[in-house]
Amino acid sequence: MKRIGLVVPSSNVTVETEIPALLARHPERFSFHSSRMRMAQVSAEELKAMNAQRERCVDELGDARVDALLYACLVAVMAQGVGEHQRVEEEIRGRTDALVLSSAGALVDGVKALGATRIALVTPYLRPLAEQVVAYLEAEGIEVVDWAALEVGDNAEVGCIPGDRVMTAARGLDLSRAEALVISACVQMPSLDLVAPAEEEFGLPVLSAATAGAYALLTGLGLDPVVPGAGRLLQGSA
């Protein structure tokens, strides 16, 4: 059995639902163990304060001897500037023997694993933070051809955004040049049930922060990245 450690904002609930749900479809067995950083409002100030709690969380999960650790807050990393996921992952590696990943890095790598260079995306963030996510991805060589910000600042409310609102936002995007669609650029915004239907509707590979995180965990642990019903990224042919 592989032990997965999740470092999550205190108000997050979705990643601890979607990542286990995805990996439950895999032949390998997993257990999941979380440590939390206080954060309620998705603002630049609270994200910075939340990141300052990172070392305690990593040390707590180290006590559990996890095999892999996922720093599961995408915007908290991307809002700190270009290339931040690499710096954060390297810093965490200095405190643990576990495989270290971040949701921010996983999304970048997931898009590239699909061979996509042009994407569209849906985010729950307030517009200034959404713009930082777009700029971060573009600095990684991924052109964002269109994007939507649902402007939800309360992180608990992000976890309650209904799927039809996410799909309505996706339908409003210009996908004519997109090679992939990120249906949720946030581990807190629910989207797992939308990935397969969105692929069928839009005719594009569709991924989310959760499916990208699962892909990164599986490949990082040397396991076959095949999860049924989770989109093209997890079909094993990415």
**What's the one-letter identity of residue 222?**
G
- The verdict on whether residue 51 carries a ligand-binding annotation is no
- The verdict on whether residue 73 carries a ligand-binding annotation is yes
Q: Which of 42, 186, 189, 230 is catalytic?
A: 186
- The verdict on whether residue 75 carries a ligand-binding annotation is yes
Residue 160 bears catalytic tag: no
- The verdict on whether residue 74 carries a ligand-binding annotation is yes
Cα 167 to Cα 238: distance, rounded to the nearest angstrom: 24
- The verdict on whether residue 132 carries a ligand-binding annotation is no
- With 0-12 CB in 10 A as exposed, 13-18 as middle and 19+ as buried, what is 45? exposed
**Helices (H), ranges, the chain:** 15-23, 44-51, 54-63, 74-78, 84-93, 103-113, 127-139, 155-158, 163-171, 195-202, 209-220
Q: Which of 4, 69, 73, 195 is catalytic?
A: 73
Q: How many residues comprise the chain?
A: 238
Residue 186 bears catalytic tag: yes
- The verdict on whether residue 136 carries a ligand-binding annotation is no
Nearest C-alpha neighbor of 183 from the set 123, 118, 140:
123
Task: Indicate the annotated binding residues for substrate.
Answer: 12, 73-75, 125, 155, 187-188
Task: Indicate the annotated binding residues.
Answer: 12, 73-75, 125, 155, 187-188
Indicate which residues carry an active-site annotation: 73, 186
